[in-house]
Amino acid sequence: MQRFLTILGCAIAFTTVPQFVALAAAAELTFSGQGTIRDSDNLDEGVLFNISYVHKSLNGLPVSTVIQQQDLNGKLLVREESEYDSAGRFKSYSMEQFQTGDRALVEAKSGEVQMLFIQDGKATRASEKLTDDTVAPGALMAYMSSYTPLFEKGQKIPVKLAVAERGMVLGFEIAGQGKNCRDSTGDLCVNLSLRLKKLVKPIFMSFQKSPEGYRPLRVETPAIVRKQKGSSLEKFTARIDYQKIR
């Protein structure tokens, strides 16, 4: 479960900060970029791994999202991919950790979200009701980027996530509120809350006005707690500093 929680926590931190790159077709957009996940005790030097993503949308609806994590030597560690149907509804999410062989598959079928997690060679299956705001961990960016205009209006954006822990499904909820929120530079910002069981911690996002709308600049997660081997807990802060945008 440690590995799944780590991936989920990092995905939340990272995928809430898409950067805009417009393609030739006006109705089609691709969001792509690279960043780093850093150790909370050494944010200036403590890079844990690099992360990159490509998100595609068509006519304002999400099409696909691919997120990859690499170690500092460029070796691929994790690949996540999310797909959506022609109406922009969540269709599937897959994740593979290449070092451990752990995998996750989440699919929308017959009004349910069906989940399969393979960890340490053991398979766990779970399901929950499919709703309009259901997304998979790696799909959060697509959901957020599709609804960024809501931030300016100060509306709440509910997001529901799920992951399995030894056969038990845990629920994750994120809600954003952008009304009357400005950071120290005056840019529009959004404060999110990550709810993990009974733990609630803030995620800070800042936005800058661009021709495409409000472009996210940075995200900081003051305290995401991830589960370690055994019963110990460790605070994990993820700060995304973009190195290049293509």
Residue-level pLDDT at 104: 78
pLDDT band at 77 (very low <50, low <70, confident <90, very high): confident
In the predicted model, is pLDDT for residue 47 greater than 50? yes
Please check whether residue 62 is in contact with residue 143, taking contact to mean a CB–CB distance below 8 angstroms: yes
pTM: 0.51
Which of the pair, 14 or 40, is modelled with greater confidence? 40
In the predicted model, is pLDDT for residue 181 greater than 60? no
Which of the pair, 76 or 72, is modelled with greater confidence? 76
pLDDT band at 130 (very low <50, low <70, confident <90, very high): low
pLDDT band at 70 (very low <50, low <70, confident <90, very high): confident
Among 7-11, 83-87, 113-117, the range scoring the smallest mean pLDDT is 7-11
Residue 61 to residues 55, 81, 83, 154, Cα–Cα distance (Å):
11, 16, 11, 21
Which of the pair, 164 or 56, is modelled with greater confidence? 56
Domain extent listing, the chain: 2-102+132-236
What percent of the chain stands above pLDDT 70? Answer: 28
Residue 44 to residues 72, 160, 191, Cα–Cα distance (Å):
15, 32, 23
pLDDT band at 66 (very low <50, low <70, confident <90, very high): confident
Tokens of 139: 């799909």
What percent of the chain stands above pLDDT 90? Answer: 0
Q: How far apart are CA 8 and CA 27, in angstroms?
A: 30
Q: What average pLDDT does range 90-101 have in this prediction?
A: 82
- Residue 45 neighbours by CB under 8 Å, 6+ apart: none
Residue 226 to residues 10, 223, 229, Cα–Cα distance (Å):
10, 9, 10
Q: How far apart are CA 94 and CA 196, in angstroms?
A: 21
Which of the pair, 145 or 166, is modelled with greater confidence? 145
- pLDDT, mean over the chain: 51
Q: How far apart are CA 134 and CA 169, in angstroms?
A: 15
Q: What average pLDDT does range 157-180 have in this prediction?
A: 32
- Sign of the CA dihedral running 73, 4, 106, 28: negative
Q: How far apart are CA 152 and CA 41, in angstroms?
A: 34
Residue-level pLDDT at 158: 35
Residue-level pLDDT at 34: 55
Residue 206 to residues 39, 54, 64, Cα–Cα distance (Å):
21, 20, 24
Residue-level pLDDT at 37: 52
Residue-level pLDDT at 88: 72
Residue-level pLDDT at 232: 33
